[in-house]
Amino acid sequence: MQIPTILLFTLSFVHTVSAASLNDYQWIGSHNSYKKALPESVYQYLVGLDKHAATQLNYGHISLEAQLDSGLRQLEIDVVNDVHGNRYSHPELAVRFGENWLNDQEIEQLSKPGFKVLHIPHVDMKSHCFDLTRCLSKLVRWSDDHPKHFPIVVIMNAKESQPSFIKRPAPCPFTAQTFNDLDKVIREQMKDKLITPDAIRGSRGTLREAIVNAGWPDVSVLRGKFLFLFDGNKSQTKRFMQGHAGLAGRAMFTSLPADDSGAAIMIVNDPVINHGEILQLVSDGFLVRTRADADFSASRQEKSKQRKAAFSSGAQIISTDFYPGSPQALRDKYEVSFAKGAVLRTNPFFTKSQTQHLTQEKR
């Protein structure tokens, strides 16, 4: 599926690279990309309940568009299923503390039925866009303004729980039909910008067969497009796959066992413990998403160890809360990036001449 050359990025955040398939690259993205910082009142309340848990929520991000402008090519969006609307328009802790977290436009978004974008219902609520269609439209507009951009991976999570100290009704569950509805929203918003499992499968019998035998398409044919990856637990994945064996007909990919007919992209979040597993999956031709950090209480040494493991694992998609310019990176003076602050490079797993970058990431 490769071609001799591709149009090269000339922006400062991308290393010079030569023609390659999608899996021949390694890029950095953000975790819970939509999230704004906690209100101080909520942070202090959570510290009183569980200081460690409060620390894990003490972060936020710049806007989705600003993240894309900075060069990130992976985003993450969490959704809750608000069947009737208004379930989250008056967050419980905001009411309890006598605070107003939302402006009129945000309340309007939350008043309508549909998928809502937020982290923890009634607690960690502040978002750069509350309505999923609004979030996706932001991505489409940005893409229209940058039509030759490197393909963007959007990780999707389905939220079905909330803390026990919240007394409002629990989030609505995601059924197989709910996932069909979510697929529909993604297709309607992304249109021809969407890379689906069926498109990658092509004329091959299964998606896995296409990946293992033909490989991922060349980046040149994927520019200006988006790939969605559902990150669910076992129960959610079972519901997501119902009626869609091998991901046939789905708008999103999902992480499946390497021998599954729908295997294409794997989520292996701990590159320290699972370093060998990631190396094998990458060697077999799969895309892998891992995390360069996952614990805000970790020491700088521990964070650096996980970052280095993520880079050297060959995983193509590396999520972090500490990308260059993020509020956390500026606050903690710690950054996750490749050499010279880059967030996209040739994958050193496939390009031996790039291995020096493994120990040259910007500190």
Structure confidence by residue, pLDDT tens digits, 129-185: 999 999 999 999 999 999 999 999 999 999 999 999 999 999 999 999 999 999 999
Q: Which domain holds residue 84?
A: 22-349
Asked whether residue 358 is domain-assigned, the answer is no
* Calpha distance 87→65 (Å, rounded): 27
Q: What is the pLDDT of residue 8?
A: 28
Contact, 133 vs 185, CB < 8 A? yes
How high is the pLDDT of residue 11?
Answer: 27
CATH of the domain at 295: 3.20.20.190
Q: Would you say residue 28 lies in a domain?
A: yes
Looking at the domain assignment, is residue 343 inside a domain?
yes
Q: How far is CA 205 from CA 2, 210, 262, in A?
A: 21, 8, 11
Instruction: List phi, psi (to 5°) of 319.
Output: -90, 145
Q: How many domains does the chain have?
A: 1
What's the confidence (pLDDT) of residue 20?
87
Task: Answer whether residue 338 is part of any domain.
Answer: yes
Intervals of the chain under pLDDT 70 = 1-19, 352-363
Model pTM score = 0.91
| Helix, strand, coil in percent for the chain, rounding step 5 | 40, 15, 45
pLDDT for the residue numbered 338: 98
Residue 287 counted as domain residue: yes
| Within a domain: 210 | yes
Q: Has residue 357 been placed in a domain?
A: no
Tell me whether residue 196 is in a domain. yes
